[in-house]
Amino acid sequence: MTRSWGGRAAGLLVAGGVLLAVVLLSLVAGNQWFGPHDVYVAAADFTGSDTDRVIRYLRFPRTAVGLLAGAALGLAGAVMQGITRNPLADPGILGVNAGAALAVVVAIGLLGVQSLTGYVWFAMGGALIATVVVYLVGSVGRGGATPVKLALAGAALSALLGSVTSAITLLDLSTLNEFRFWVVGSLTLATGSIVTQALPFIAVGIILALTLGRSLNQLALGEDLAATLGTRIGLVRVLAALSVMLLAGTATAMAGPIAFVGLAVPHVARALVGADYRWILPWSLVLAPIVLLLADVVGRLVARPDELQVGIITALIGAPLFIALVRRRKLAEL
């Protein structure tokens, strides 16, 4: 692919077109296949038929969650890889998903929160706390928050939070049932109101993340050089952490911890447009929902009358892709 400005922009437009097509596919494909006209009727000329209701109340929210969660996870992964200069960074490695999931299980199991509108806040709080704790632990000692220390702190905290989560679910087996959703992500739980609630958080997170492109490019040169070039490293880290909290926390609250999207998509973007974060970020934003929605459509079709949760499909698709990427590109290249 061409690396000129025009080439990258045109490519991004094409990717946007593909995304639109995938959104339409997500609306028509499933247990029953519908036509584009059915989608139009359900949206603009609602008659209350079964088809209308399935599209409007099941597939619209599901597709919207796929769009938002996909964009959020892809972007969060790209930001984390940039800020930690760690090609294996993603919301999972830095403990963000584990924090969000634990907070949700506490909400369900100990505080008796029943509705999804309750989980959102717990998940974001958990993501924030986990991000801060990982950052603080990773910053202790000489050299500040180095990539390796951050990753180690994230892994350690993930393990700790995972143990606490297990302990809580062992207290009450009925919680365990509900917790399954928070182990592997799915797009099927969200409703229109959840999407509306989540939208502002995701939007702020996206805007925040997109402004970081230039700073991440400078950080990629090394912290000393970046500081010399005028990058306020501390501020960039805080903004990056904030955007990841908003993006990954809200995505987890809507769809559970979906793995590999945040890890794999930024690498695909990097392979397509090079190492410039001003391009990697928007490309991740567009590519990730394509991947997530396609994975969801596959999950609907392969196990009828049941469905495979989208998190299972992303792991199946994402893991080999990621291994291939790691093998092809030297890790030190970031």
Residue 262 or residue 299: which is nearer to other proteins going by CB? 299
Residue 215 or residue 309: which is nearer to other proteins going by CB? 309
Q: Which amino acid is at 77?
A: G
Closest approach of other proteins to the CB of residue 164, in Å: 17
Alpha-helix residue ranges (DSSP H) falling in 221-276: 223-228, 233-255, 261-273
To 10 degrees, the CA torsion angle through 118, 121, 123, 129?
Answer: -140
> Rounded to whole angstroms, what are the CA distances from 122 to 38, 119, 154, 260?
37, 5, 19, 23
Compute the radius of gyration of the chain from its Cα atoms.
20
Residue 115 or residue 228: which is nearer to other proteins going by CB? 115
List of residues contacting other proteins (CB under 8 A):
30-32, 48-50, 53-54, 56-58, 170, 172-174, 177-178, 180-181, 184, 186-189, 300, 304-307, 309
Long-range contacts of 143-148 (CB under 8 A, 24+ apart): 145/237, 147/84, 147/85, 147/86, 147/89, 148/86
- The pair of three-digit structure tokens given for residue 196, joined into one six-digit string: 């509306």
Residue 40 or residue 57: which is nearer to other proteins going by CB? 57
Q: First CA to last CA across the chain, in angstroms?
A: 20
Closest approach of other proteins to the CB of residue 222, in Å: 44
Closest approach of other proteins to the CB of residue 288, in Å: 20
CA distance 237 to 227: 13
Closest approach of other proteins to the CB of residue 179, in Å: 9
Q: Which amino acid is at 217?
A: N
Q: What is the DSSP string of 49-94?
A: -HHHHIIIIIIHHHHHHHHHHHHHHHHHHHHHHHHHT-TT--TTTT
Closest approach of other proteins to the CB of residue 260, in Å: 17
Residue 52 or residue 245: which is nearer to other proteins going by CB? 52
Residue 198 or residue 236: which is nearer to other proteins going by CB? 198
Closest approach of other proteins to the CB of residue 315, in Å: 14
Closest approach of other proteins to the CB of residue 146, in Å: 38
Residue 44 or residue 173: which is nearer to other proteins going by CB? 173
- The pair of three-digit structure tokens given for residue 85, joined into one six-digit string: 């200069």
CA distance 124 to 126: 5
Residue 44 or residue 331: which is nearer to other proteins going by CB? 44
Query: 3-class SS at 305?
Result: coil
Closest approach of other proteins to the CB of residue 58, in Å: 5
> Rounded to whole angstroms, what are the CA distances from 309 to 12, 129, 289, 312?
29, 27, 16, 6
